[in-house]
Amino acid sequence: MSVHRVTALVLPRQSTFELASAAEVFGLSRPGLRDGYAFAVCTERPGPVPTLAGYDMLVGADLTALDAADTVLVPGWHDRAAPASSAVLDALRRAHGRGARVVAICSGTFLLAEAGLLAHRRATTHWRLAGELATRFPDVLVEPDMLYVDLGDVATSAGTAAGIDLCLHLARTDHGAAYAAHVARHMVMPPHREGGQLQYSTDALTERRSESLAPLLDWATERLHQPLTLDVLAARAGVSQRTLARRFAGQLGVSPGRWLLQQRVAAARALLEQTDLPVEIVADRVGLSSATNLRRRFHALVHTTPAAYRRSFGHGH
C-alpha cells in the first residue's frame, strides 16, 4: 500500500473541528493498521494562525507544501466574504492542474468555487450556506441536501459530521473498505454513509422514536444474502410500502432499493478484500444473484470491476 500525501491548507480564523476531523482520519497511526497517509498542514504566511476557538495554531509550512500533495484539503473557510489572496487561489489551481485531488469541507467549498474549480460542476456545502453559494457562484451546480459530492479530482462536503463522512469515503477510495472501516471503528463512528444521503433528517422533528429505521436496517444488513424485496422490508417494519419509502426518503435520502444495493456492494467490497472467493460466490453471499449482476452493480457504484478492485485492495496487496 503506497502512502498518500494529504496537505491541509489552513486560513486565518480556522475552524478547529474540520481540521481535527481530517487529521483524525489522515494523520494518526493506529494499532494494527499500516499507515496509509502522510498528513501535513500549511498556510499562506507561516506562523500563528488564529482559530475560531480563540487560540492560535502555529503552522510552519507555506503554500509550497501543496506542490508535493496528492490531496489538498481545505478544512473550512470562515472569512469567505473577503476575496481570497491570489497566492492561495494560484496554489490551488496549480495543485489541481498537476493532478492533485482537491477537497473542501463545509465552507471550504467557497474557496474552491472562487478558484474556478467548481465551474459547471456539482458541489455541496453546509445546508445553511447553500443559498449563498448558489447566489455568489451561479455557475456551480449546488446540491444543498447531500452529505458530500466526490467528482474524483474534486470533492466537497457539508459541515460537521459530513466532513468525517467524506474523509472516510476518501480513505475507502484510496485504500479499500477494510482500511476505512478500521479507522471508523477507532473513531467510534457509525457505518459508512453514502454522499447522496440527506445532511439531516427531514422528519427529525415529527418522527416518533418507534418510527426509526435503525432496527430494520440492522435486520436487513444481517440478511443481505436473502431476497429482500420492498414488500419483505415493509412487512418486517409493519408498514405499507409507501410509508416505508417515505421514511427512507426522510431519514436517509435514498429509496429502500438504493440503500439495499449500497449495502450489498459494500459487503461485496469486504469479501473481495478479505477472501479469495470466486466472484460468483461473492455475488451469492451478498444477494446479487450472479457474477454478471455483481459486476454491473459494482461498476455503477465503485466505478471499477470486482477483479480490478481485488487486485488493488485484496488481502495479498
- Residue range 63-87, pLDDT digits in tens: 999 999 999 999 999 988 889 999 9
Q: Do 144 and 130 meet the contact criterion of CB atoms below 8 Å apart? A: yes
Question: What pLDDT is recorded for position 214?
Answer: 84
Cell of 257: 432499493
In the numeric block, the cell 466505478 is attached to 303
Whether residue 98 is predicted with pLDDT greater than 50 in this model: the reply is yes
Contacts for 66 with CB less than 8 Å, ≥ 6 apart: 7, 9, 42, 72, 91, 92, 94, 95, 100
Can you tell me the distance from the alpha carbon of 190 to that of 252, in angstroms, rounded to the nearest whole number? 14
- Mean pLDDT for 5-13 is 97
Can you tell me the distance from the alpha carbon of 134 to that of 290, in angstroms, rounded to the nearest whole number? 43
Helix (H, G, I), strand (E, B) or coil at 5: strand
Question: What pLDDT is recorded for position 251?
Answer: 81
Whether residue 198 is predicted with pLDDT greater than 60 in this model: the reply is no
Question: What pLDDT is recorded for position 1?
Answer: 66
Q: Do 92 and 154 meet the contact criterion of CB atoms below 8 Å apart? A: no
Q: Domain limits of the chain? A: 4-186, 205-317
Can you tell me the distance from the alpha carbon of 110 to that of 162, in angstroms, rounded to the nearest whole number? 16
Give the helix/strand (H/E) hosting 6: strand 4-9
Name the DSSP class of 211.
Answer: G
Question: What pLDDT is recorded for position 206?
Answer: 43
For 50, list phi and psi in degrees, rounded to 5: -65, 150
- Mean pLDDT for 14-34 is 93
The residue among 40 and 147 whose pLDDT is bigger is 40
Largest interatomic CA distance in the chain: 61
- Mean pLDDT for 243-253 is 87
- Mean pLDDT for 153-180 is 91
Whether residue 201 is predicted with pLDDT greater than 70 in this model: the reply is no
Whether residue 229 is predicted with pLDDT greater than 50 in this model: the reply is yes
- Mean pLDDT for 274-284 is 95
The residue among 69 and 127 whose pLDDT is bigger is 69
The residue among 167 and 81 whose pLDDT is bigger is 167
Which pTM value belongs to this model?
0.80
Question: What pLDDT is recorded for position 196?
Answer: 55
Give the helix/strand (H/E) hosting 41: strand 37-42
Question: What pLDDT is recorded for position 205?
Answer: 40
Q: Do 277 and 271 meet the contact criterion of CB atoms below 8 Å apart? A: yes
Question: What pLDDT is recorded for position 204?
Answer: 44
- Mean pLDDT for 103-128 is 96
Question: What pLDDT is recorded for position 317?
Answer: 58
Question: What pLDDT is recorded for position 233?
Answer: 95
- Mean pLDDT for 18-36 is 92
The architecture that CATH gives domain 4-186 is 3-Layer(aba) Sandwich (3.40)
Mean pLDDT estimate for the chain? 90
Whether residue 226 is predicted with pLDDT greater than 70 in this model: the reply is yes
Whether residue 194 is predicted with pLDDT greater than 80 in this model: the reply is no
In tens, the pLDDT along 285-316 reads 999 999 999 999 999 998 899 999 999 888 76
205-317 CATH pick, 3.40.50.280, 1.10.10.60, 3.30.56.10, 1.25.40.10: 1.10.10.60
For 300-309, which contacts have Cβ atoms below 8 Å and span 24 or more sequence positions? Answer: 301/261, 301/262, 301/265, 302/265, 302/269, 306/268, 306/272, 306/279, 306/282, 307/279, 309/269, 309/272, 309/273
Whether residue 55 is predicted with pLDDT greater than 90 in this model: the reply is yes
